[in-house]
Amino acid sequence: MLWFFVDRERIIESILHKLVRKHMAGTTMDSAIDAAKSLGDRSIPTSLMFLSSASTDRSKAKYIATTYGELIRRIARSGLKSSVHLQLDQLGSGINKEMAIENLREIANIAERYGIFLWVEPGEDAKGLYRHLAKIGKIGVVAGEKDAEELAKLKFKNAKLMLKDFEEKEKHGGVKRIGELSRLFGRVCITYIPENLLSEIMKNKLKSDIEIEFGYGYSERKMGAAIKKGAKISVLVPFGKDWIRYAMNNVPEGYMRFVAGKLLKEDEEDAT
C-alpha cells in the first residue's frame, strides 16, 4: 500500500503547483527580477520574496541571509522600484532568536546602504520579537491588525499589516479600522486583503492614503481598475523552489478545494 500514499502525495503536490504557479515569478532570482521589471515598466512597485522553509540549522540560515543580501544588490543594480519581504524563521528564529536577529541586522544594513526598503514578517512568536525589531531601525513589520497598538508603542512608524486575522464586527467596520491605523502609522500597506474589504476600500477616499499589496498573478484588470480609482498598489513577487509553504498559506482554502476537485475529476476522466 506504500505506493498509494506516495502517489497520493505526488497528486497533491501536482495540484498545489497548478494552483500557485501563476502566482510565482519562477524558481530563480533572475525570474523575479524580470517579473519586477515588467511590472515596473507599468509603474507598479513590487516587493520580492525568496520562498524557503524555516531554517533548522545555522548554515541554512546564513545561506538565506546571503541570498537576501544578493537580492538587495540585484534590485539596486537593476534600478527597480522594489522592496524586499522576508520571514524571520528563514533566518533561524526557530532555533536561535539572537542568531536570527543578527542575520536580519546584516541584511538591514545592506538594505539601508542600497536604499532598499525591508519588510520583516516575525512569524508565530511575533510579540516576543517586536522589541528586538524596533531597535534595528529602518524596516517595516508585517503584523496582524490586533498587534498594531503594540507596534505603535514601540515607535514603529512603518508597519505592514496582514489582515488574515481581520474581523469585521460591523458593516464598513473594516474600512473604519484601517482609517484608524493609517493615522497611527506613517506608512501602512494592506496585504492578503479579502475581496469584500477591497471593494469597500475602493469606494472610500481612504484608498489614496494606504498602499494595497496584491499577490503576483492577481487579475490585471482589477489592479488596473484600482489604479484608475486612485489607489496606491504594489505587487508581492515570490520566487524559489520551496513553494509549498507559500501555497498552503496564501491559496484560499475554498478555491483550493474547488480546483483540486476539478483537477482530480480531469485525471479520472483521462485515466478512463
User: Which CATH number do you get for residue 188?
Assistant: 3.20.20.220
DSSP 158-173: EEEEE-TT----STTH
- Domain match, 142 and 236 both: yes
Question: Which pLDDT does position 101 carry in this prediction?
Answer: 95
> Residue 61 pLDDT > 70, yes or no?
yes
Its pTM stands at 0.83
- For residues 115 and 72, give the distance between their C-alpha atoms in angstroms, rounded to a whole number: 9
> Residue 270 pLDDT > 60, yes or no?
no
> Residue 53 pLDDT > 70, yes or no?
yes
- Domain match, 20 and 30 both: no
| DSSP bridge partners of 50 | 239
> Residue 261 pLDDT > 90, yes or no?
no
81: three-class secondary structure by DSSP: coil
Question: Which pLDDT does position 197 carry in this prediction?
Answer: 84
Spatial CA neighbour of 56 closest among 86, 90, 85:
90
Question: Which pLDDT does position 15 carry in this prediction?
Answer: 63
Domain with 3, as residue range(s), is: 1-24+244-272
- Rounded to 5 degrees, φ, ψ at 189 are -125, 125
- For residues 238 and 1, give the distance between their C-alpha atoms in angstroms, rounded to a whole number: 37
> Residue 120 pLDDT > 80, yes or no?
yes
Question: Which pLDDT does position 82 carry in this prediction?
Answer: 96
Three-state DSSP string of 22-63: HHCCCCCHHHHHHHHHHHHCCCCCEEEEECCCCCCCHHHHHH
- Domain match, 82 and 143 both: yes
Angle at 143 between CA 37 and CA 53, to 5 degrees: 65
> Residue 65 pLDDT > 80, yes or no?
yes
Instruction: Name the pLDDT band for 2 (thresholds 50, 70, 90).
Output: very low
Region 145-172 average pLDDT: 69
- Domain match, 65 and 196 both: yes
- For residues 53 and 87, give the distance between their C-alpha atoms in angstroms, rounded to a whole number: 9
- For residues 211 and 174, give the distance between their C-alpha atoms in angstroms, rounded to a whole number: 15
Segment 182-221, tens digit of pLDDT: 877 767 888 878 788 888 888 888 788 889 999 998 888 9
Q: Which of 8-12, 67-71, 129-133, 152-156 has the least mean pLDDT?
A: 8-12
Number of domains in the chain: 2
Instruction: Name the pLDDT band for 238 (thresholds 50, 70, 90).
Output: very high
- For residues 130 and 70, give the distance between their C-alpha atoms in angstroms, rounded to a whole number: 26
- Domain match, 16 and 35 both: no
- Domain match, 71 and 93 both: yes
> Residue 115 pLDDT > 80, yes or no?
yes
Region 130-138 average pLDDT: 85
In one-letter notation, the amino acid at residue 27 is T
Q: Which helix (H) or strand (E) holds 84?
A: strand 82-87
In 3-state terms the chain splits into helix, strand, coil percentages (rounded to 5) of 55, 15, 30
Spatial CA neighbour of 59 closest among 108, 96, 110, 112:
96
- Percentage of residues of the chain with pLDDT beyond 90: 42
DSSP 205-255: GGGGTSEEEEETT--HHHHHHHHHTT-EEEEEEEESS--HHHHHHHS-HHH
Question: Which pLDDT does position 78 carry in this prediction?
Answer: 96
- Domain match, 95 and 209 both: yes
Question: Which pLDDT does position 253 carry in this prediction?
Answer: 52
- Domain match, 66 and 134 both: yes
- Domain match, 141 and 213 both: yes
- Domain match, 157 and 86 both: yes
> Residue 85 pLDDT > 70, yes or no?
yes
- Domain match, 216 and 272 both: no
Q: Dihedral, CA atoms, 180, 182, 188, 192, nearest 10 degrees?
A: 40
> Residue 257 pLDDT > 80, yes or no?
no
- Domain match, 189 and 265 both: no
